[in-house]
Amino acid sequence: MLLVIDSNVYIFGFGLIKEPACEKLITALIEKSPLHTLRISRSIVEEIRRHLSGEDFLKFIRVINSLTNIDENILVPFLSRHSDLPFKVLTAEKCLKLI
């Protein structure tokens, strides 16, 4: 399955303030990495950098580098309010149930 994860999942999975579903989703992606393809854009990485401490950002980068490459060319618009998309927009909790 191809996944594009919102920056907030990474921020609340790696940052000072943790959200359990975000942490669990990141753990599941690491454990099931051969089953899923993760894509992450440079713009998402930059947003995450602005919201994490240096140490937490380094952890994030290590995990991302073990799972995928940063894609310089993808653009991910804000899509949660559109109902006719050719893909699903899910919360971390719903994504965990799906994968």
* Whether the predicted pLDDT of 73 surpasses 80: no
Domain range holding 91? 2-98
pLDDT at 26: 94
pLDDT tens digit sequence for 18-65: 999 999 999 999 998 888 888 888 888 999 999 999 999 999 999 999
Alpha carbon separation from 68 to 4, 34, 39, 50, 58 (Å, rounded): 11, 11, 7, 21, 15
Please tell me the distance from the alpha carbon of residue 59 to that of residue 72, in angstroms, as a whole number: 20
Q: In the chain, how many domains are there?
A: 1
pLDDT band, very low/low/confident/very high, at 82 (cuts 50, 70, 90): low
Q: What is the pTM of this model?
A: 0.81
